């Protein structure tokens, strides 16, 4: 199949159905409305179920139900809507239920605005819900990557029995780009012997719960989750990086911002400043080890985000005092200008006074 021009939100919906998603529960919010719109039209064509819930909270709990019954299920929303889903996400993590959650980020806090932002990094990677849990967070920077990560998200969710979040900004959701919708590989579906699909009178009932009143049992669950998070960290960390070896300055950015940074890198390259780029594809697990590849000529690391500095924390952990860590961000729906980023890089490289 050739490349087709698609809007990000529609491409995400289409990729989800190709990845075997058959259940979608959601509630409208800009800038992700084309996801539920697409699902409402196309899920019935493949025998799937689309429900527009009465609220985000209802939607995430419907996801809990469908996931508990072993379905490939997803929901999508945008920043304040994802905030409402946090309780459900914590329950999904506690009950070890696989699902995919799409967040097409807009500016915050509160109702904020509707323009693109990356200010839900903490919410996504640190968890807005209670408890000792993690979810896998993937951040595409092109529509093709969004489509490819969609398949991967469902597979990872099933393999590890964990919620997976696709974290996009409003631009990824709204823009059009050519995508190749590859046929989903026909991997045998992961067995779900834990699902509540009826005992047929032949076995003890499965129980899906996140309630453990016995501290020893709850600790056991947390130890199991922790072991699994270690395994995911070792096996599923994804990152793209360029030019780290001889870089004078290394920029860390994800999603659409990483694309804008690439233009800034080109501007600096034209001025003879070697600049490297680290683009995390998974935000949890975070590719800390990639920073070890930075060469000895590096004068500083610049973190660029459409927020006031959230991934910055992880960049500082990764840098671990080896280089000064700088930050440049625009927020509230304002998109950074590559020329401004280039100026920041030039200052760090000592080519321009502070």
Partner 1 sequence: MTEKVIIAGFGGQGVMLSGMLLAQAGLLRKREVTWLPSYGPEMRGGTANCHVTVSSRPIASPVILAPDCAIVMNLPSFDKYERQVVPGGLFLVNSSLVTKRSGRKDFRVVPVPVNELAQELGNAKTANMVMLGAYAGVSGALDRELFIKALEVIGGKKDHLLIDANVRAFDCGMEYVTGGYCGEIGA
352 binds partner 1 (CB under 8 A): no
- One-letter-per-residue 3-state SS of the chain: CCCEEEEHHHHHHHHHHHCCCCEEEECCCCCCCHHHHHHHHHCHHHCCEEEECCCHHHHHHHHHHHHHCCCCEEEEECHHHHHHCHHHHHHHHHCCCCEEEEEEEECCCCCCCCCECCCCHHHHHHHCCCCCCCCEEECCCCHHHHHHHHHHHHHHHHHHCCEEEEEEEHHHHHCEEEECCCCCCCCCCCCCCCCCCCCCCCCCCCCCCCCCCCHHHHHHHHHHHHHHHHHHHHHCCCEEEECCCCCCEEEECCHHHHHHHHHHHHHHHHCCCCEEEEEECEEECCCHHHHHHCCCCCCEEEEEECCCCCHHHHHHHHHCCCCCEEEEECCCCCCCCHHHHHHHHHHHCCCCCC
Q: Is residue 178 involved in binding partner 1 (CB under 8 A)?
A: yes
- With binding defined as CB under 8 A, does residue 170 bind partner 1? yes
Quick one: 72 or 262, whose CB is closer to partner 1? 262
Q: Which stretch binds partner 1 (CB under 8 A): 82-90, 222-230, 295-303, 337-345?
A: 337-345
Per-residue binding letters, 244-283, with partner 1 (x by CB under 8 A): ------------x--xx-xx--x-----------------
Taking the complex as a whole, how short is the minimal distance between the CB of residue 28 and partner 1, in angstroms? 14
Q: Which of residues 10-49 bind partner 1 (CB under 8 A)?
A: 30-31
Closest CB to partner 1 among 31 and 276? 31
Confirm or reject binding of residue 292 to partner 1 (CB under 8 A). Answer: no
Task: Establish if 237 lies at the interface with partner 1 (CB under 8 A).
Answer: no
Q: Which is nearer to partner 1, 22 or 259 (CB)?
A: 259
**Least distance in angstroms from the C-beta of 233 to partner 1:** 30
The minimum distance between CB 80 and partner 1, in angstroms, equals: 15
Q: Does 299 bind partner 1 (CB under 8 A)?
A: no
343 contacts partner 1 (rule: CB under 8 A): no
- Give the residue, chosen from 46, 122, 159, 176, that forms a contact with partner 1 under the rule CB under 8 A: 176
Q: Which of residues 37, 87, 132, 177 is near partner 1 by CB under 8 A?
A: 177
- Looking at the DSSP bridge assignments, the partners of residue 164 are 100, 136
Q: How many residues bind partner 1 (CB under 8 A)?
A: 23
Q: Is 175 in the site for partner 1 (CB under 8 A)?
A: yes
Residues that bind partner 1 (CB under 8 A): 3, 5, 30-31, 114-115, 170-171, 174-178, 256, 259-260, 262-263, 266, 335, 337-339
């Amino acid at each position: 199949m050739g490349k087709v021009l698609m809007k990000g939100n529609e491409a995400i919906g289409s990729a989800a159905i190709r990845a075997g998603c058959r259940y979608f529960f959601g509630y409208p919010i800009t800038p992700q409305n084309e996801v539920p719109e697409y699902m409402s039209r196309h899920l019935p064509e493949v025998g799937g179920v689309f429900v527009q819930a009465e609220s985000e909270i209802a939607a995430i709990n419907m996801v809990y139900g469908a996931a508990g019954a072993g379905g490939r299920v997803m929901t999508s929303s945008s920043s304040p809507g994802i905030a409402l889903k946090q309780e459900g996400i914590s329950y999904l993590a506690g009950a070890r239920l696989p699902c995919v959650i799409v967040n097409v980020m807009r500016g915050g806090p509160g109702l904020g605005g509707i323009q693109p932002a990356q200010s839900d990094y903490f919410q996504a990677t640190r968890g807005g819900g209670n408890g000792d849990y993690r979810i896998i967070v993937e951040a595409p920077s092109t529509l093709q990557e969004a489509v490819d990560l969609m398949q991967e998200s469902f597979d990872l969710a099933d393999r590890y029995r964990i919620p997976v979040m696709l974290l996009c900004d409003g631009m990824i959701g709204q823009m059009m780009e050519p995508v190749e919708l590859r046929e989903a590989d026909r991997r045998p579906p992961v067995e779900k012997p834990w699902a509540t699909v009826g005992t047929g009178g032949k076995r003890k009932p499965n129980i899906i719960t996140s309630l453990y009143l016995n501290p020893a049992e709850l600790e056991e669950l947390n130890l199991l989750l922790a072991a699994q998070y270690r395994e995911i960290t070792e096996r599923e960390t994804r990152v793209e990086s360029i030019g780290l070896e001889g870089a004078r300055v290394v920029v860390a950015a994800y999603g659409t911002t990483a694309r804008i940074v690439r233009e800034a890198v080109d501007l600096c390259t034209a001025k003879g400043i070697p600049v490297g780029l680290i683009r995390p594809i998974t935000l949890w697990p975070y590719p800390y080890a990639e920073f070890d590849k930075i060469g000895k000529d590096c004068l500083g690391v610049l973190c660029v985000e459409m927020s006031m500095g959230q991934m910055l924390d992880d960049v500082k952990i990764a840098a671990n005092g080896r280089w000064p860590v700088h930050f440049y961000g625009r927020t509230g729906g304002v998109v950074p200008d590559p020329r401004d980023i280039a100026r920041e890089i030039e200052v760090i490289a000592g080519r321009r006074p502070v």
